[in-house]
Amino acid sequence: IGIFQNVVNMAALYGIIQIALQLIGFSGDLWISGHMILGYNWTANGTGLIGSTGLHRAHAFFIEPSTYSQFLAVNILIYLANNPRKNIKLIVLNALAILASMSGTGILLVATGIIYFLIVSRDRKLQKHGLYSVAIGLAAVGILYVLANDIFMSLYLRAYELIGGSNVSTQMIQNGWTTSSVVSRWRLLGQCNGNPDCE
């Protein structure tokens, strides 16, 4: 587990560096031929993540950004289950990397783990860590809303798609499949009614 966490921590740092390099005009993307999956997973143009800046989503050395965010989420949950106060810096590092991946999958996985801590688990320590995590998470959301509203709204709109809060057909046309969540893409494919040109 220690080896796993150290590797994911390095990936977290690298993913954040990928975004930082793009912001100053360099490409920090690692491409492993035959391993990475090219497609809508790699771009976020038009999301308003940082103003109108279009960025490639952070992925470190993972096959694509959503897979990256899942490993980060598992890493965060391991830290939360053990000693969150001692590992707060590493939790923040992994949380920032999830934001850099622009993937809701990791956020949903962390939220599911925290719900388990609070509701399912009978372990008082886990319940305490779950409450601690919720308090820190709400504070972080508030800070993000005030200091980085573009990023907050981008994540909010992605989350809103989960309950059908966007016109996915329009979004597909405007964004070329680059920014919609997988839920929206599944919903859109359901609207195709077997039309191969649509799919």
Query: Confidence class of residue 23 from pLDDT cuts 50, 70 and 90?
Result: confident
CA atoms of 63 and 50, how far apart (whole Å)? 24
Question: What's the Cα-to-Cα distance from 163 to each of 18, 158, 187, 193, 197, rounded to whole Å?
Answer: 31, 10, 11, 21, 26
The pTM of this model reads 0.73
Query: Confidence class of residue 185 from pLDDT cuts 50, 70 and 90?
Result: low
Question: What's the Cα-to-Cα distance from 98 to each of 38, 82, 114, 125, rounded to whole Å?
Answer: 19, 20, 16, 25
Terminal alpha carbon distance of the chain: 41
Query: Confidence class of residue 195 from pLDDT cuts 50, 70 and 90?
Result: low
> Taking CA 94 as the corner, what is the angle to CA 48 and CA 121, rounded to the nearest 5 degrees?
115
**pLDDT tens, position by position, 55-102:** 677 888 888 888 899 999 999 999 988 887 888 899 999 999 998 887
